[in-house]
Structure 1
């Protein structure tokens, strides 16, 4: 299975990006191919309704990888009850060509206990581009945002939650891929 991971932070080593790196390792251990796209390292042009900005190699790469994927993981830090501006901007460039009938796992990292508002926003957006939301999501907050030197969550509970959500996501992605 081919999984596209979109890390939607504009901060180096963001915890939302770190949890994505952990998920990527878990996916690769299950023989999934992954494409990791970090918006901090590869920012994309501001969206305009006039159309696709020419010459933005990052944008072209992102859209191509998302379109080729069997399933997608979206991750964001939660800022003021919402997803990051860089993630929203990146998603504004995409639509049904990238998301239609694909499983999507939403992931959030918040300074408080949980990042539910950003997760709900991502799920609404996914529905509007005809993606299929995974029944589970991942939210880490507060002290849960600690990672060890190998890049794994320091909390056993966070690891268990991430694996449970990943299992649901992969099951859904497999069912959707069979139907395609």
Structure 2
């Protein structure tokens, strides 16, 4: 199974990206092939709907990574109660060909207690791309955004939540892959 994680922050030490790096490790321990596409490390040009043809190598890498995946994880910081601009811009380069009938997990990090609004906004976008939203999601906030120098969440409850949600998500992705 191949899972692509798209981290939607444009900040180097973003907690949403740290969370995704931890998710990547957990999935790899389950012998799942993971591609982490970090939009901070691979920035994209602004999407221009009047010129859908681009030669930008990062855009092509994103399309290949998401298109070649069996399932996708989308991560965003909570920016004013919604998804980050860089993630929305990245999703504008993608379409049905990359998401149709694939399981998609929404992940968020918020300065407040939990970032529910960005997760529901992501699920709306995924639905419009014909992806299949995982009913579970992962959101960390406040003091739960701490990570050890090894990249693990400091809070054991966060680790438990990540493991529970990933088990559900992987099962959903396997089910959809078999049905397709």
TM-score, normalised to structure 2, is 0.98
CA distance in 2, matches of 1:34, 1:102: 15
Could you tell me which residue of structure 2 aligns to residue 26 of structure 1?
26
Q: Superposition RMSD on alpha carbons, in Å?
A: 0.7
Could you tell me which residue of structure 1 aligns to residue 50 of structure 2?
50
Q: Displacement, 1:49?
A: 1.1
Could you tell me which residue of structure 1 aligns to residue 136 of structure 2?
136
Q: Displacement, 1:126?
A: 0.4
Give per-residue Cα distances to partners, 1:35-60, cap 9 Å, x unaligned.
11000010111111113242200000
1:23-172 aligned within 5 A: 23-172=23-172
Aligned residues: 180
5+ residue gaps in structure 2? none
Give per-residue Cα distances to partners, 1:147-169, cap 9 Å, x unaligned.
01110000001001111111111
Could you tell me which residue of structure 1 aligns to residue 173 of structure 2?
173
CA distance in 1, matches of 2:27, 2:63: 21
5+ residue gaps in structure 1? none
Asked if the contact 1:45/1:53 (under 8 Å) is kept, the reply is: no
Please give the secondary structure, in 2, of the residue aligned with 1:120: helix
4+ aligned runs moved over 3 Å, structure 1? none
Give per-residue Cα distances to partners, 1:109-145, cap 9 Å, x unaligned.
0000000000000000000000001110000000000
CA distance in 1, matches of 2:6, 2:86: 11
CA distance in 2, matches of 1:151, 1:49: 38
CA distance in 2, matches of 1:54, 1:123: 27
Asked if the contact 1:135/1:168 (under 8 Å) is kept, the reply is: no
